[in-house]
Amino acid sequence: MADLIPYHDRDGLIWMDGAMVPWRDAKVHLLTHALHYASSVFEGERAYDGEIFKLREHTERLIESARILDFTIPYSAEEIDQACRDVVKANNLSDCYVRPVAWRGSEQMGVSAQQAKIHLAIAAWDWGSYFPMEQRLKGIRITHAQYRRPDSACAPSKAKAAGLYMICTIEKHRAERQGYSDALMLDYRGRVAECTGANLFLIKDGVIHSPVPDCFLDGITRRTVIDLAKARGIEVIDRVIMPEELGSFSECFITGTAAEITPVSEIGEHRYKPGAITETLLGDYMNLVRPKARVAAE
């Protein structure tokens, strides 16, 4: 713990409700509705060489997530995009993580908060690989989660909402205490779903299989990787995958803005070896996200 740098006590600037404020002054009140009732949505974005990858897609998902949670962010997509760029520039960052977050404020306390002010803030900071590089290169180890992704009839599963990550934190902590990097979650029907913050891909006989994202996020990185695979002529099948099938695949990797493309070496008792398809897609992805690499390729 001594080596941790608290996120509230750093140098830099954060865009908050239309203005740049000193990092340490970007605060909310104890009785903010979002803290008590999870009325908050957010995005995770990465900038490479100073350019935020698929910024508009992230912004549009942020706005849609807020709509699903029954509030409207008081800024246009264009204004949010520009604020994200401004934050990266104001903090003199090139490769970094960008976190927009929108939430209900402190005007009302209770389940109903229709008159609460809607806030938007955007921070950016240096953040390397989500997993330690030595783990990532040989494949991370994943265990089985106990909690499951809920039915879309029971939770707003298409929103990137703070409340949906409560069980992810529980399972991530449980996995780390057991010596694993992450946990694989099933959905409410007992089907393979996703990890605590990343989508899952499995490979067999040169074909990529991925769980149907009908009760969890169809991630922006997930869709990007599917497009890259298809451009290579690699077949990708979205389908129901049951836990008993996990031992039949030869390769496995997860995807997400934070995780990028991360190979998996095991899920519980099942073993995988990062192979040609995983390595190819990882290379294609890194070439795509880096503007300088794209220019060189062209």
Could you tell me the domains of the chain? Answer: 13-125 (3.30.470.10), 133-292 (3.20.10.10)
Cα–Cα dist 265/224, whole Å: 22
- The span from the CA of 167 to the CA of 148, in Å, is 8
> What pLDDT does residue 116 have?
97
Q: Where is 263: in which H helix or E strand?
A: strand 260-267
User: If pLDDT is split at 50, 70 and 90, which confidence band does 1 have?
Assistant: very low
| Mean pLDDT, rounded, for 208-224 | 97
CB 127 within 8 A of CB 88: no
In single-letter form, the type of residue at position 16 comes to M
Residues sharing a CB contact under 8 Å with residue 251, sequence separation 6 or more, in sequence order: 202, 203, 263, 272, 273, 274, 275, 277, 278
DSSP assignment letter at 115 = T
Q: Examine the pLDDT at 297 and tell me if it is beyond 60.
A: no
pLDDT tens across 235-279, in order? 999 999 999 999 999 999 999 999 999 999 999 999 999 999 999
Task: Report the C-alpha gap between 278 and 207 in whole angstroms.
Answer: 11
104-117 per-position pLDDT tens digit: 999 999 999 999 99
- % the chain with pLDDT above 70: 94
* Mean pLDDT of the chain, nearest integer: 94
Task: Choose among 21, 125, 118: nearest CA to 63.
Answer: 118
Tell me which residue of 84, 72, 71 sits closest to 15, measured CA to CA. 84
In this model, does residue 155 exceed pLDDT 70? yes
Q: Which band of pLDDT confidence, cut at 50, 70 and 90, is reported for residue 4?
A: confident
Percent residues over pLDDT 90 in the chain: 91
pLDDT band at 138 (very low <50, low <70, confident <90, very high): confident
Give the model's pLDDT for residue 127: 83
Mean pLDDT within 146-152: 97
Q: 150: which 2 tokens?
A: 């809920």
Tell me the torsion sign for CA atoms 9, 10, 11, 14: negative
Model confidence at 180: pLDDT above 90: yes
Residue spans of alpha helices (H) in the chain: 33-37, 55-68, 77-90, 133-138, 166-177, 220-231, 276-289, 291-297
Give CA–CA dist 268/62, Å, rounded: 34
Confidence at residue 136, expressed as pLDDT on a 0 to 100 scale: 62
- How distant, in Å, are the alpha carbons of 45, 121, 287 from that of 258? 8, 19, 16
Six-digit token pair at 104?
Answer: 């209900």
Q: How far apart are CA 56 and CA 80, in angstroms?
A: 9
DSSP H or E stretch at residue 107:
none
For the annotated catalytic residues, the residue numbers are 160
Contact between residue 292 and residue 240 where contact means Cβ atoms under 8 Å apart: no
Task: Report the C-alpha gap between 8 and 26 in whole angstroms.
Answer: 8
- Residue whose C-alpha is closest to residue 160's, from 227, 63, 274, 255: 63
